[in-house]
Amino acid sequence: MKEELFASGRNIPFIDPVLHIWHWQIPLYLFVGGLAAGLIFFASYFYLKGDEEKYPIAVKVAPFLAPIVIIIGLIALLIDLRHPAYFWQLYTTIRIESPMSWGAWTLGAIMPLSMLWPLSYIKDLQAYFDNRLCKMPFKLISWIIKMINRYWFINWIYDWSIKLRKPIAIINLVLAIILGVYTGILLSAFNARPLWNTSLLGPLFLVSGISTGAAAIMWMAKEHHEKLAFSKIDLILVGVELFFIVHMFMGFLASTAVQQEAAQLFLGGEFTAVFWGLFVGAGLILPAILEIMELFHFKIPIAIPAFLILLGGLVFRFIMVDAGQITRYLY
Amino acid sequence: MEDKSNKYMNPYLAGVLIGLMMIAAYYFSGEGLGGSGAFKKVTIAAVNTVNHDYAKDAAFFASSVKDGKNPLDSWLIFEILGVLIGATISAGYFGRLKLKVGKSPKITNKTRLIAAVIGGILWGVGSQLGRGCTSGLIMSGMSVNAFSGYVGLIAVFGGGYAFAYFFRKLWI
């Protein structure tokens, strides 16, 4: 038991001395937000580059996951709210200086667009899910296609989603980057929490999110060249992530006592084993080794590095949200 | 690329290497090697997270959780994580890294998995009654010449031979 005596006016339940208001919902949401950003980013980028046929899974198939995971994240956010019925009030204002406002509006825009994108490729999705073990998605997609043929207005939306692919891809590319960065900036804008208050958090969350997107795509890919391409992309992203992590800690250690104390949580403190073992070790370095072996033509089932990357991304967000709430400017 | 999936290390060489590992484990961590210990610690950590008040008073859990100790803060946990990582890389290197159910061709995957779960539960209970499994009790025990290690050896391998006949259909 660790006991502390306070002689301070600062004792606000759930906020001071330690923040205790964010539970599993927020890290889960940050994870799916990053994953969706990655999936949408790759789909838009490779579409605009004209690689639709070269990377069919990335452009046509995988993006169907994006709206599904965004909905899961939004449900988590709603559960987190004390008064869920008031969520719409975020949409009564635009505040350019508030990351939460950016996030709310980005999600509001990317949600319908991320649904239009897979709709425009619904026939490719049907082909992908045909002959799969699980018949559910195939039946659902066939039902949607039936609806498109039956009702003129759904058919009209479908036609336009195909015609508007290029502008949607351009808007989605920008929105995906905003979504990915915002999941980190949401935390880094908290200047009362030293662990979060670093400008590296935005880029780090963006890269991590894009990397989980690449992992999901390489897991789903059928053709070897597509698996390999996304494995290579992922490898580069893991390298960038490691670079950011090292520099984040260098920044903390070169900063004031509270930042150094925050870093100590990961350098000997209670999050050391889980951060370096589960996230950096099993979630970045091990999959990176497996991906490098893949490049040297060893037979590696791609599901293993992909799963590890996804799990690492989830663990990373849980650690950052939990640890960040403990760090403080108290002494 | 040449197929290495059926090439295994010479068992005598592997045995010597495990022995050297054992010496290293005792030298660096003060504990031997263990297989079941890590699973026990994970179970204790799970119980402790759900209900700390129960865990700190129950005989089986108390020693690992009292005084705010974290049951996962243990050499065995890191050893098993290392085993998982090392095994994955080694299997990948030799082209054996795939998801499959090892079994007799005459039984279904379902039968095999049910039998494996039952066997695993019995092994878990047995290893706790015997204060360790093949690695923790027999290998680590015998390496320090503990009498219990030799008894464990006779019990585990004797029991294995005695029961193998009845369960042979799971494998052949």
Interface of A with B in 297-316 (CB under 8 A): 297-301, 303-304
With CA atoms as reference, the chain A residue closest to B67 would be A1
| Closest C-alpha to B61, from B124, B142, B128 | B128
pLDDT exceeds cutoff 80 at B54: yes
Q: What pLDDT was estimated at residue B70?
A: 81
Q: Which amino acid is at A287?
A: P
Separation between Cα atoms, residue A316 and residue A283, nearest integer Å:
9
Contact A299 B99 (CB under 8 A): no
Nearest CA in chain B to A278: B81
**Rounded to a whole number, what is the distance in angstroms from the first to the last CA of chain A?**
20
How far apart are alpha carbons A252 and A69 in whole angstroms?
Answer: 33
Long-range CB pairs of B76-83, under 8 A, 24+ apart, other chains included: B76/B31, B76/B34, B76/B37, B76/B38, B76/B41, B77/B38, B77/B41, B77/B42, B78/A273, B78/A277, B79/B25, B79/B33, B79/B34, B79/B38, B80/B35, B80/B38, B81/A277, B81/A281, B81/A282
Residue B75 identity: W
- Whose tokens are 């979630």? That residue is A283
Any idea which of A268-272, A327-331, B17-21, B127-131 has the lowest mean pLDDT? Answer: A327-331
User: Are A304 and B73 in contact (CB < 8 Å)?
Assistant: no
Closest CA to A277 of B31, B45, B80, B91: B80
Distance CA A101, CA A98 (A): 5
Q: Is A269 on the interface with B (CB under 8 A)?
A: no
**C-alpha closest to that of B140 among B62, B43, B40, B36:** B36
Alpha helices in chain A, H assignment, sequence order: 25-48, 56, 65-80, 99-120, 122-129, 136-150, 152-163, 165-188, 201-220, 224-253, 257-264, 272, 286-295, 303-326
Does residue B68 register a pLDDT over 80?
Answer: no
Token pair for A315: 């663990």
CA distance A311 to A137: 24
Our CA-based measurement puts residue B106 at a distance from the nearest CA of chain A, in whole angstroms, of 23
Residue A161 pLDDT = 87
* Cα A226 from Cα A55, distance rounded (Å): 6
DSSP per residue over B57-99, as a string?
Answer: HSHHHHHHHGGG--TT-SHHHHHHHHHHHHHHHHHHHTT----
Question: B6 touching A, CB under 8 A?
Answer: no
The residue count for chain B: 172
pLDDT of B97 over the 90 cut: no
B97: region left, alpha or beta (phi > 0 left; psi from -120 to 50 alpha): beta
Q: Judge if the upstream peptide bond of residue A67 is cis by omega within 30 degrees of 0.
A: no
One-letter identity of residue A9 = G
Residue A167 exposure: Cα atoms within 13 Å on the Cβ side: 5
Q: Do B93 and A293 touch (CB under 8 A)?
A: yes
Distance, in Å, from the CA atom of A284 to the CA atom of A34, rounded to the nearest integer, reads 16
For chain B, percent of residues with pLDDT exceeding 70: 99
Mean pLDDT in chain B? Answer: 88
Query: Considering Cα of A80, then A85, then A89, then A90, what sign does the dihedral take?
Result: positive
* A290 min Cα distance to partner chain B (Å): 7
For residues A268 and A264, give the distance between their C-alpha atoms in angstroms, rounded to a whole number. Answer: 6
Q: Inter-chain contact B92–A2, Cβ cutoff 8 Å?
A: no
Give CA–CA dist A285/A303, Å, rounded. 16
Q: Provide the shortest C-alpha distance from residue A60 to chain B (in Å).
A: 28
pLDDT band at residue B121 under the 50/70/90 scheme: very high
| A10-24, A76-90, B30-44, B63-77, range with the lowest pLDDT | A10-24
Residues 6 or more apart whose CB falls under 8 angstroms from that of A118 comprise: A63, A64, A66, A67, A125
* B68 closest CB neighbour out of A1, A293, A297: A1
Q: Test A289 with B73 for CB contact under 8 angstroms.
A: no
Q: Tell me, rounded to whole angstroms, the distance of Cα B124 from its chain centroid.
A: 9
* B92–A290 C-beta distance less than 8 A: yes
Per-residue pLDDT averaged across B120-139, rounded? Answer: 88
| Residue type at position A310 | L
What is the predicted ipTM?
0.73
Q: Chain A contact for B17, CB < 8 A?
A: no
**Core vs surface per residue B10-19: b (16+ CB within 10 A) or e:** eeeeeeeeee
Residue listed under structure tokens 């060489």: B13
**Residue A212 near residue A277, CB atoms below 8 Å:** no
Cβ count within 10 A of residue A81: 11
Q: Which residues of A91-129 are buried (b: 16+ CB within 10 A; e: fewer)?
A: eeeeeeeebeebbbbbbebbbebbbbbbbbbbebbbebb
- Give the residue from A270, A290, A298, A307 with the most B CB atoms within 10 Å of its CB, the best one to mutate: A298
Mean pLDDT of B30-57: 87
Q: Considering only alpha carbons, which residue of chain A is nearest residue B75?
A: A273
Tell me how far apart the alpha carbons of residues A78 and A75 are, in angstroms, rounded to a whole number.
Answer: 5
d(CA B170, CA A120) in angstroms, rounded, equals 50
Asked if residue B94 lies in contact with residue B5, where contact means CB atoms within 8 angstroms, the answer is yes
Distance, CA of A313 to CA of A265 (rounded, Å): 19
Residue tagged 């709709």 (tokens)? A119
Residue A8 DSSP symbol? S
Distance CA A114, CA A168 (A): 9
Where is average pLDDT lowest: A57-61, B22-26, B69-73, B116-120?
Answer: B69-73
List the single best residue of B52, B78, B88 to mutate versus A (max A Cβ within 10 A): B88
Sequential pLDDT tens for chain A (331 residues): 667 666 666 667 777 777 778 889 999 999 999 999 999 999 999 999 998 889 999 999 899 999 999 999 999 988 888 888 888 888 888 888 888 889 889 999 999 999 999 988 888 888 888 877 777 888 888 888 888 888 888 888 888 888 889 999 999 999 999 999 999 998 998 888 889 989 999 999 999 999 999 999 999 988 889 999 999 999 999 999 999 999 999 999 999 988 998 999 999 888 888 899 889 999 999 999 999 998 888 888 889 999 999 999 999 999 999 998 888 887 5
Contact, A215 vs A299, CB < 8 A? no
Q: Which of residues 111-130 of B touch A (CB under 8 A)?
A: none
Please name each of the domains of chain A with its CATH number: 25-326 (1.20.1630.10)
